[in-house]
Amino acid sequence: MRHLIEPMDMTPAEIDAVLDLAGRIIQNPRAYAQKCTGKKLATLFYEPSTRTRLSFEAAMLELGGSVLGFSSADSSSAAKGESVADTIRVVSCYADIAAIRHPKEGAAMVAALYSGIPVINAGDGGHQHPTQTLTDLLSIRSLKGRLNQLTIGLCGDLMFGRTVHSLIKAMMRYEQVRFVLISPRELRVPDYIRDALLLHKIPFQEVERLEEVIHKLDVLYMTRVQRERFFNEEDYIRLRDSYILDIDKLRLAKEDMIVLHPLPRVNEIAPEVDNDPRACYFKQVLYGKYVRMALIMTMLGVEE
C-alpha cells in the first residue's frame, strides 16, 4: 500500500502520470464521473482549511465517490485525547483512503504507520504539503508549458511555509531550474531545504528585496506569513507586511511571468493585481481539484 507524505514519495515519472491523467480529466470530466462509485474518502482535518479539504471532497464527489470526516480537532475524539494512531486505525474501518491535515510535523507519517488504507498528507505543521505541490506543478506545466528551464521566485514566509518546502523539493528534480528565495532574514528556508539544494548543486540565491529580482522570474510564488506557527505575536506583526505585490512591482516583471499563491492571501497580493493576466492564483485553485481527482484514482488503483 502506498502513502503520499512528501513529494519525494513519488518518482518524477509517477508525478508526470498523475499530471497527465489530470489533463485528460480536464478535457472530459464526464468520462470520470463514475470512476470511484462505492469508494469513500475520509478527510481528517485537525487544522483550518478551505481549499485543500473542499477540493479533496469535490474531487471525490466528482468521481462518483462519497466523503466523510471532520474539519476541526474539536469536533473529533482528538478533543478527548485520542491519538492520531488510534484515529486512523478506526477510520481504516470506514473509508478506502484518507487525507489528513495536522498542526504537528510528522503526524501524517505516524498515521501512515498505523493505517490500513492509503494516507495522503494534506499538510503537517510547517513541514510538507505534497498535494498543493501537485496543484502547483500542474499549474506551472499548464500555464508555462514546461517544468524545466524555469527561474522560480518564492517569496514570503519560506521558513514555516510548507507549500514552499514541498514545491522546492519537487522542482529540484527538473532540469535547469533555478530558485530565487525572497524573504526577510528571519524567515529564510530551513537548513534541510538549503542543504538539499547545495547537495544537488541546484542554483539558488537568497535575497530580501522582491524588486531586485522580479525581472528575472518566470514564476513568482507568493506566500502568506504563517501566523499560527510564530512563537510570539510581535514578531508576526513586524514581519507580516514584508512583501506586498502591487501593480508597480509587477511592472518590473516579464510579460509572461505567472503569479501563483497557494492561498489564503492575507495582504501579500494587492487586489488590483487580480485583473492582471499574470495573476493565476484562482486558476491554480481549479487545477487543485483536477489533480486531486487524478491522485485519488491513482492511489486507489482505479483503472482509467
Using CA atoms, how far apart are residues 106 and 164, in angstroms rounded to an integer? 17
Q: Which is nearer to ligand NCD, 260 or 297 (CB)?
A: 260
52 lies in the binding site for ligand NCD (CB under 6 A) = yes
* Min separation Cβ 28 and ligand NCD, Å: 26
Asked if residue 127 lies in contact with residue 159, where contact means CB atoms within 8 angstroms, the answer is no
Which residue from 39, 40, 102, 129 is in contact with ligand NCD, where contact means CB under 6 A? 129
51 lies in the binding site for ligand NCD (CB under 6 A) = yes
43 lies in the binding site for ligand NCD (CB under 6 A) = no
Q: Which helix (DSSP H) or strand (DSSP E) does residue 88 occupy?
A: helix 84-91
Catalytic residue list: 51-52, 80, 101, 129
Please tell me whether residue 240 adopts helix, strand or coil conformation: coil
**Segment 55 to 114, residues that bind ligand NCD, using CB under 6 A:** none
**Segment 204 to 243, residues that bind ligand NCD, using CB under 6 A:** 223-224
Dihedrals phi, psi of 124, to nearest 5 degrees: -120, 105
Q: Which is nearer to ligand NCD, 35 or 129 (CB)?
A: 129
* Min separation Cβ 222 and ligand NCD, Å: 10
β-partners of residue 148 are: none
125 lies in the binding site for ligand NCD (CB under 6 A) = no
Q: Which is nearer to ligand NCD, 22 or 32 (CB)?
A: 22
Q: Which is nearer to ligand NCD, 32 or 230 (CB)?
A: 230
* Min separation Cβ 123 and ligand NCD, Å: 5
Residue 228 grid coordinates = 499560527
Q: Evaluate the CA torsion angle 110, 93, 118, 47 in order and state its sign.
A: negative
Q: Which is nearer to ligand NCD, 139 or 163 (CB)?
A: 163
Using CA atoms, how far apart are residues 6 and 133, in angstroms rounded to an integer? 9
Using CA atoms, how far apart are residues 50 and 265, in angstroms rounded to an integer? 12
Which residue from 39, 102, 162, 289 is in contact with ligand NCD, where contact means CB under 6 A? 162
Neighbour count for residue 201 (Cβ, 10 Å): 6
Give me the sheet containing 97-102, strands edge to edge. 66-70, 40-45, 97-102, 119-124
Q: Give the residues lining the site for ligand NCD (CB under 6 A).
A: 51-52, 123, 129, 132, 162-163, 223-224, 262-263
